[in-house]
Chain A
Amino acid sequence: MRKIRQLTLTTAMVALTMAVAAGCSGGGGSGSGAIGNGGAGSKKPVKAGGTVTIAEVGATPNFVFPLEPVTNTDGWNVNLTQPLWPALVYAGDGSQSVVNPDESLFSNITWANGDKQLTIDLKHWNWSDGQPITSRDFTFVYNLIKANASNWSNYVQGLFPDDVAGVSTPDANTVVINLTRSYNPTFYEDDVLSNIPLLPQHAWDKSSDAGPVGNLDETSAGAKAVYAYLQKEGGDMATFATNPLWQVVDGPWKLSEFRTDGYYSYVPNKQYSGPDKPVLAKVVDTPFTTDTAELNALRAGDTLDIGQLPLNDVKQASALEQNGYSVANIPVPGVAMIQPNFYNAQVGPEIQQLYVRQALEYLINRQQIVSKVYSGYADPGNGPVPLTATGPWASPLEKSGGPYPYSPSKATALLQAHGWKVVPNGTTTCQSPGTGANQCGAGITAGEGLTFQLAYSSGQASMDEQNAAIKSSEAQAGITINLHSEPFNSLIATVGACSASSHPAATCGWQLADFGYDPYPLYPAGDGFFNSTGSNNQGGYADPKMDQLINATEYGSGTSAFFAYEDYAAQQLPWLWLPNQNGLLVYRSNLQGVTPLNPFSGGLNPEMWGFTS
């Protein structure tokens, strides 16, 4: 099985950045609050020049070479590199969940041979040193990745480059890739090719600073040497802005300063070939350790042009607007969840019962959490796919509220129907153990209660409020939730992947875990999340039918296949669905072009921005 989730790690972190550090742009916005999504508005004339300062909260890049080693999962590096070396397929166009035709490096992709062969026509663009971008730049990337796949952080076994039978370049602007199997073109373009940049072979195909540029990448040993050299240079933070290697770019920006504390700035790439040429003279990304400090800077109002507004502080929006800012509400493409551990020694047998998961989900008052905890600025979390943030992929079932709208009475009835004595606000116990249809189920003993520990990451008041609310509402059916909070990295350090074949007590002691949310790439596939070998399937959920439905969404096309998978996942509850909070983006009111913002892009596309004159 392939694990798309690994591949989309980069995408994942892009979206995370957006939500954490800047917010994201999107369509209509599900928020019931007063803040809209900004929208394009009427275009006013902009003046050339000006500097924009963006607050980056907790987002410090540390690697500039776009292909990271597996030991570096900083996650923010893509924010740094995407404006320099955009992906072949550029995901997201304004608030539209589509491929961006202007920023992408291809002009056309055609599929043939039963969707086993694709032909990519590259645009006739130039590198910043004036050299043309050619199909050789693609084979350079392919050769590097092929020889070093095991040390490429976006590598997923079975997927690119494993699934490539051959690459040919009939001319300087055409790449033909033959794959080992048929794919859904939407999946392959949106989720695979959107993670692959083009790199300047004419400048980087060498293994030392002084070494001559040649065709080293054409042998495996040469490709390894080149990769090792670029990796070494790519990690030397002191020289990010001065190393001549990194000045050869094909994106709209060039790196002009980089400090090791995470402060960096861009200036326009004067040779940029795309239509959206930068108007601003400079873009500065300034690091913040916490959103408290960032919010204070916004309130004081003189240092930042772009920042985020934590949802807890949504009431500050009007004060910020008086300070000359605008606030946009941006749905985040992702899924928020509680992951249940199907193989925890204590509660695994209970979690494996679908009716228990259903009862748990019925007791989460998602609508109320959206309106009260998130002031309306959140996706309701009716199933695995958000309603607006990933475009057309939300099914009718999800749009109608999902299979498990809040209902304590249904939860109670479900438990009673399976042999539990329900004691509201007390302790519900199993009265009729056994595996019959009206009994508690395998591994559940008489007198056993329903008590779960829910671990979540600390430091965010809204997470405390949300999980305290869940604890309270679950108690209505006599289910006890004990809350346990830790800083995010401490939390994930203790949550191991558990499965039927491997669930050591040391790393599978967790029962329910709320990490926040997992971001989606452009095509919100379930691979990696819910398939039995998914790398982000920590709890060990395994269902052959789910695997088959997920495969169908990636190998074959069509919305009906996707909806079939989506509705099945929504009903089976491999995870418990939660509301997914939106991003609130704060930007200077006289800065035009910030919204509608692309939620899939790490660099926020400042080439679209300009101060109105």
Chain B
Amino acid sequence: MPEAGELAERRGSGRLVVSALAHNKMAIAGLCLVALMVLFCFVGPLLYPTNQVTVRLDLSELPPSGAHPLGTDASGYDVLGRLMEGGRSSLELGFAVAVATTVIGTLYGAFAGFIGGVVDALMMRVIDTFLAIPGLVLLLILVSMFTPNLLMIIVLLSLLSWLGVARLVRGEVLSLRTREFVQAARMMGGSRRRIVLRHLVPNAIGVVLVSGTFTIADAILAMSTLSFLGLGIPPPHADWGTMLSDGLNYLFDGYWWLVYPPAVILIVTVVAFNLIGDAIHDSLDARLQRP
């Protein structure tokens, strides 16, 4: 399935991406926000250590105070500390899914696109089949098959999201394969390996980067949907999505610290990743227009 941007000709490689990002204000904002979140979640707990394991019902639902800047939740966990803890697993989830998805999808797509023929057709039918089953149904069946823990959710979300990447990469490889410079390399007797490594991979990397960035954002969102549907990870695990869907019970109770902090931090993070992905996408698009 060809997509808007990829049809047109594309020259150069992902090298331009970095310089393009540096010139895009939105992308810089996104990068800064992501860096901030990473600091908050991974360095924060060192500066602000809290107990996120032991339930303290005697401290439940306290409003913000000096001891608990963002109050406590129904189990008596410090909300600020829990945002760090939850953010860590949300970010880990996002990055892990993005990496797994990208690796599997790229290899699968590149292989199918490069080999072509019957193998390619077969490989694509497998993808079509998975894509023809509603993602949520697949996810539900898979989630109920396995004990939900972070690793399992990472594996399941990756299983579902590599399909799109594989298609994109294959499309990219197909269109590149027919391009003059690859054909030239072939005619000059370049080995397949060399063609793939020197020409195809660098050229496809932009597409992969874009989809990888969006995958991080989507995985974090998908986790919150799972929690809302009651398919999340049981306590004492925390992630932003679970905190938000639990906190929504208090939307009308005036316990704003259980609703809005996880909502804001989740949305800001997802927006940040989208801005980055979008900027990369834009920079690839932009190159198309320079004749």
Contact = CB atoms under 8 A, between A and B. Distances in A.
Contact of B235 (A425, A459, A483): A483
A312 B58 contact: no
Given A461-B246, A469-B75, A487-B231, 20 more contacts: A365-B57, A368-B57, A456-B234, A458-B230, A458-B231, A461-B74, A461-B249, A464-B234, A465-B55, A465-B74, A465-B235, A468-B55, A468-B75, A468-B236, A472-B53, A472-B54, A472-B56, A484-B148, A485-B148, A486-B144
A473 B57 CA distance: 10
Given A472-B53, A484-B147, A485-B148, A313 B253 contact: yes
- The prevalent SS among residues of A at the interface is helix
Interface residues of B, number: 25
- The prevalent SS among residues of B at the interface is loop
20 contacts: A312-B249, A313-B252, A319-B252, A365-B57, A372-B58, A456-B234, A458-B231, A458-B234, A459-B230, A464-B234, A465-B55, A465-B235, A468-B234, A469-B55, A469-B75, A483-B234, A484-B148, A485-B232, A486-B144, A490-B144
A471 interface: yes
A64 to B, nearest CB: 31
A299 B249 CA distance: 13
B231 A373 contact: no
Contacts of A469: 55, 57, 75
A472 B54 CA distance: 5
Contacts of A490: 144
A467 interface: yes
Interface in B105-119: none
Contacts of A369: 57
B28 to A, nearest CB: 39
Interface of A: 299, 312-313, 315-316, 319, 365, 368-369, 372-373, 425, 456, 458-461, 464-465, 467-469, 471-473, 475, 483-487, 490
Contacts of A468: 55, 75, 234-236
Which one of B54, B148, B232, B246 has the greatest number of beta carbons of chain A within 10 Å? B54
A365 B56 CA distance: 11
B60 interface: yes
A475 B55 CA distance: 11
Given A299-B252, A471-B55, A485 B234 contact: yes
Contacts of B74: 373, 461, 465
B249 A313 contact: yes
Contact of B57 (A299, A372, A458, A485): A372
B199 to A, nearest CB: 49
Nearest to A484: B147
Nearest to A312: B249
Nearest to A489: B144
B144 A471 contact: no
B58 A316 contact: no
Nearest to A371: B57
Nearest to B234: A483
A374 to B, nearest CB: 11
A326 to B, nearest CB: 18
A119 to B, nearest CB: 51
A464 B57 contact: no
Contacts of B252: 299, 313, 316, 319
A369 B55 CA distance: 11
Given A471-B235, A487-B231, A373 B57 contact: yes
Given A465-B74, A486-B144, A487-B230, A471 B60 contact: no
Contact of A372 (B60, B144, B147, B234): B60
Interface string B37-66: 000000000000000011111101000000
Which one of A315, A372, A460 has the greatest number of beta carbons of chain B within 10 Å? A372
Which one of B53, B57, B58, B229 has the greatest number of beta carbons of chain A within 10 Å? B57
A312 B231 CA distance: 19
Contacts of B229: 459
Given A468-B75, A472-B53, A472-B54, A458 B232 contact: yes
A316 B252 CA distance: 7
Interface string B209-237: 00000000000000000000111101110
A524 B289 CA distance: 79
Which one of A369, A458, A484 has the greatest number of beta carbons of chain B within 10 Å? A458
Contacts of A475: 54
Nearest to A316: B252
A368 B252 CA distance: 25
Contact of A467 (B148, B232, B235): B235
A368 B58 contact: yes
Nearest to A315: B253
Contacts of B232: 458, 485
Contacts of A316: 252-253
A463 to B, nearest CB: 9
B72 to A, nearest CB: 12
B82 to A, nearest CB: 12
A487 B250 CA distance: 22
